[in-house]
Structure 1
Amino acid sequence: MSTNYFSLHCAFRHILVSTINFLFIFLGISNLAIGQGPSEKRENESAFFSDLINLESTADQVFRYTTTLENNSSNPQVYELITELPKGWYAAFKTRGKQFTSIKVDGGSKETITLELHPSHEAQPSKYSIPVTARSDNESIRLDLEAVISGTHKLEISTPTGRLNGKIIEGQRKEIQLVVKNTASLDLEDVILTSKAPPKWSVVFEPSKIDNLSPGETENVIAILTVPDKTIAGDYMTTFTAKNANTSDQAVFRMSVVTSLTSGLLGGTVILITIAIVYFLIRKYGRR
């Protein structure tokens, strides 16, 4: 009796172990098949992809992504391109040099599409997710892009007081105090000072170039403006520009030219002499 019980117990144990192993194997194969299913591309499923999905630049630059839209169905489809952008950003889709919002792709064909992304000038350094969707009547395909803002380049040029006007006597020169400030988050290198003045006027900057300007830093610059002799009195505009390879700014300065005392006296003398000559001629020949 004891022997039969032991044999029966061993047989039951062997069957139980075999059953459990079978269940583990079966469930493992099922899970593997289920796990692989979504990653396998369904037949005739279209595609929307880009070789580079992550780009890094500054907020004042344009991010350009080259994407490919494949219509793997047998019929042509019209796709609408949609982006979800942060506030203040702007996107443009282009192909063959033309901008569009919807595009027709023949069945079994593909189109190369350039996405130009313009960040907001106020965008802070960070990584931004840019979902892009190509949607037709039959399907919707999503492409996830990333734009990394490393910082911004921006500067300002003005005067210490903000006043952009003054007076100068013709034939003389005047020193104008200017301030150049880095208002962004990245260093500015090789900032050049230039000007656009009326004909025959001259402008010399001291210094004429700023090698480096850290964020928040300012640099004082003197613009020496020279007005030629015999300049007609009036208001004249001179534009001062500070720029480098990444950004620029301008300040338009209004200069009022006045006549010198010597020129005024000379002009008055000429007028008086002219009046005297006319009076003499009238007195002399007017009696006849």
Structure 2
Amino acid sequence: MSVDSVNLERPFLGIHPFVVLLFLVFCLASPIASAQESTKAPSFSARLINMEAPVNETFRYQATLKNGSSASRYTLDAKAPKGWRVKFKVSGKQVTSLQMDPEKSENISIEVHPAYGAKPDQYDIPVYAVGEDSLSLNLEAVVEGSFALELTTPSGRLSGEVTEGKSKQVNLQVKNTGSLALEEISLSSRTPPKWEATFSPSTIERLAPGKSTDVVATITIPDKTLPGDYVTKFTAKASETSSDASYRMTVTTSLLSGWVGMLVILMAIGLVYLLIRKFGRR
């Protein structure tokens, strides 16, 4: 091998690794720089954007607002259907705007209250965070219907009379006033002390929307109950909703008890009269 050929190859061998190193550094630096730039981009996102619930419940979304590279004040707003209400909460407190430092994130709870009587359907609810950057998030609320229950009597009257020591049957009516079926509706009561109440039936397995079922409540009043007005509270309860009805019961004494009371009074008067005659002569 000649001296010239060796000298020509050495410079090439010395430069080649350096060029390769520069190339690798450039390739690695470009993704890092791109990643750093992307972290500075603002965003408004939510883990769940579509929820389903009855019309009488609140839709709750958890969103995250991420600021860009400079400090900014964001105003929170929403474009909801007529009659709907939207609230923004941060750390449990209701807010309408946020002051955010550069490259900071904030968790926002978004509460959506449907309008009363909203029909089952899917509703789009765009929410906005407007600051130096204008960000938007499109939420979806699917209204399934409503659970509602009413407990009353067929006539609407919630009062009656009963004699102490007797039983009284009260006709009740359980109505499904919602748009969804109710299942396993149980009946219960809160009565005055020592009173008893039973139901027939005690449980309604299923009640379709707009339908009603008659229930007979039997109340037993103990002996020697003082005359007066007493209130019994009836409750019809399903897993989704419940309804109460307060029934006022007027307790009267029995005819026999009245005659016995009058006899006792007459005997007392007669005894006083005899005592006066006997000791009044002395």
State the TM-score, normalizing by the size of structure 2.
0.80
Instruction: Indicate yes or no: 2:225 matched with 1:234.
Output: no
Instruction: Return the offset for 1:175.
Output: 1.0
Q: Report the counterpart of residue 80 of structure 2 in structure 1.
A: 85
Instruction: Return the offset for 1:145.
Output: 0.8
- In structure 2, C-alpha distance between the alignment counterparts of 1:271 and 1:106, rounded to whole Å: 89
Q: Report the counterpart of residue 89 of structure 2 in structure 1.
A: 94
Deviations 1:32-54 (CA, angstroms, capped at 9, x unpaired): xxxxxxxxx99955221112111
The amino acid of 1:135's aligned partner reads V
Q: Secondary structure at the match of 1:279?
A: helix
The amino acid of 1:242's aligned partner reads A
Instruction: Indicate yes or no: 2:36 matched with 1:49.
Output: no
CA RMSD of aligned residues (A): 2.1
Instruction: Return the offset for 1:287.
Output: 4.3
Change beyond 3 A, Cα 1:142–1:221: same
Instruction: Return the offset for 1:121.
Output: 4.0
Instruction: Return the offset for 1:63.
Output: 1.2
The amino acid of 1:73's aligned partner reads S
Instruction: Indicate yes or no: 2:123 matched with 1:128.
Output: yes
- In structure 2, C-alpha distance between the alignment counterparts of 1:139 and 1:95, rounded to whole Å: 20
Instruction: Indicate yes or no: 2:70 matched with 1:74.
Output: yes
Instruction: Return the offset for 1:284.
Output: 3.0
The amino acid of 1:206's aligned partner reads S
Deviations 1:74-108 (CA, angstroms, capped at 9, x unpaired): 22x33332233334433332232333333332221
**Size of the alignment, in residue pairs?**
246
- In structure 2, C-alpha distance between the alignment counterparts of 1:284 and 1:131, rounded to whole Å: 99
- In structure 2, C-alpha distance between the alignment counterparts of 1:279 and 1:83, rounded to whole Å: 89
Q: Report the counterpart of residue 29 of structure 2 in structure 1.
A: none
Q: Secondary structure at the match of 1:128?
A: strand
Larger mean Cα displacement after TM superposition, 93-102 or 246-255: 93-102
Identity %: 48
Q: Report the counterpart of residue 275 of structure 1 in structure 2.
A: 269
Larger mean Cα displacement after TM superposition, 238-247 or 272-281: 272-281
Residues 29-48 of structure 1 correspond to what in structure 2 (within 5 A)?
45-48=41-44
Structure 2 gaps of 5+ residues are 1-36
State the TM-score, normalizing by the size of structure 1.
0.79
